Chain A
């Protein structure tokens, strides 16, 4: 089944404790992105990647890092999480000719 998977689905952590949210797709898509969803703000793009070793900032990149060492994986790294990063995070992938496919989401709480 073609899909985007994210892990973990739920995470509660404390301020300053580094964490990684993984994202993997099995559709051989070139493009991958991370979004955060906040009430009243919709979804905003954090980072995106056009292909392996090619990443760029989205609208809200502060406090986040990403890497794209393999085509199928696009992890989101929070080096020092803060409470304002409490949010629902979505990974998405697409090819140049298709609409994005979204993962199931990761609900992160930073206390």
Chain B
């Protein structure tokens, strides 16, 4: 079956530090890949997505590249801010029209001033 593996957390960084959150997946074919963010006390918001190999999704200074050869979709940001403190989820949606998202366990990011 499909699965998503995220690096263990939590992660604590100082403001302006470089961020990498690892995500690898198992799925057949070419799934769509997503990063969702959950700010404290709020629901999930789509941060970025990529729908085919070598696509780069980007938003709010975050980037992730769909790497088919390594089945990865790592999230990066060059300079984090305190306002980036949140829980980050990597997810995949199988090829074809399908309602189900498979999520990773999520990782909590805390950014210190």
Contact = CB atoms under 8 A, between A and B. Distances in A.
Interface of A: 31-33, 35, 40-45, 48-50, 58, 90, 92, 94, 96-97, 99-105
Secondary structure at the B interface, as helix, strand, loop or mixed, is strand
A41 B105 CA distance: 5
Interface stretch (B63-71, B77-85, B94-102): B94-102
Contact of B97 (A33, A43, A58, A96): A96
Complex A-B, nearest 5 residue pairs according to Cβ-Cβ distance, in ascending order: A96-B97, A31-B99, A42-B105, A42-B103, A43-B103
Contacts of B4: 42
A42 B106 contact: yes
A48 B105 contact: no
Contacts of A58: 100
A33 B44 CA distance: 14
B25 interface: no
Most chain A CB within 10 A, of B32, B34, B100, is at: B100
A99 B49 contact: yes
Q: Interface of chain A, helix or strand or loop or mixed?
A: strand
Contact of B99 (A40, A42, A48, A101): A48
A42 B104 contact: yes
Contacts of B103: 35, 42-44
Given A99-B32, A99-B46, A104-B42, A45 B101 contact: yes
B26 to A, nearest CB: 15
B82 to A, nearest CB: 23
Contacts of B32: 99
A71 B101 CA distance: 20
Contact of A105 (B43, B93, B100): B43
A94 B99 contact: yes
Interface string B37-57: 000001111100100000000
B4, B44, B104, B105 interface centre (most CB from chain A within 10 Å): B44
Contacts of A105: 42-43
